[in-house]
Chain A
């Protein structure tokens, strides 16, 4: 059976444990030995019966290499570090990290895209820093998908092939890992700011009455048989007077007053005086409508 260590985490863990037992060898020697072992285990479809440390010892002996030096109690700090890196505990951590690597591949893709978007003055989501462009969630998601695909491809390639650019890969991953927390904090801040909550830019509220974003200039009530009504007072659901906000400065508007002299701005339809006069030339003027045929539902619907 063939495959990759991504599909066989048991093989990945075993190979990592063997690699840790060869930590004292030159990197090229170790990588070549482990690459042969990894490829063979993947093809055989099973892990060897020997524990990793015995497998590594047999491998060393057969390859004519010196046996692994026992961990020195009084060694230098570097020796202690090497021994710790070779320990089974670290091997187990590395195996677990190997299994979780795909999560990191996705995270680093996100970090890289955000860093690039911010560095290119696009902001995040893409377009957030552009004064005249709208935030493009679609573009942002597209960039993330491309980056995620590339990152996964790199990750799989790194597992499958000899680590030809290992140092470069380690450095790039380290930079992205360092940027992970700042980018996460930045993204959360953006979320609070509202960039991620909606694909629309912030729109200044239009004062007065609005229908589909356009201000309403007048309203014409009719009875059910199509007769226009005049000087109808309109209120919203909380009892607030509806006002189209033409304002008191609109001198040609015919404004109703209360007996106390208070002006009412919620009487509809609004009618206007002829220019320079105090006469409404066509007081019955109303937009032509088609009266619909109505079916009156009962005011109380009972269940039978």
Chain B
């Protein structure tokens, strides 16, 4: 479902947000520090700062519905993954370097388009909760006439 090229895009260090909803159909959302795509291309792990995870984890544990949006300035390439929750755990120290390296590439990208690293450096990147999702659908979200079209 997530091929090699798309996996590289998702993990290269771009803007990522995770959306959920509660049982009253009210949406919730958090910033994601980084993701790792499983080799099977059907699952991924989203790393969400512990400081914010309470915004979405109760929703995920209650109904399992998730949406992840990815966007890369300056070319505005974007996509959205729909998924279902499979598990959550405390991210380990062994994962920390990879998580922070991906976030660091995101700050470099922002700097390249004129957003100073200092603007986002105060944001929390660790400790994180590792939220594992099963990907159920992928949609193009790049602005333009093909936005919303299924990718896989």
**Real binding pair:** no
Which residue numbers of B lie inside 8 Å of A, CB to CB?
none
Please report A residues at the B interface, Cβ cutoff 8 Å.
none
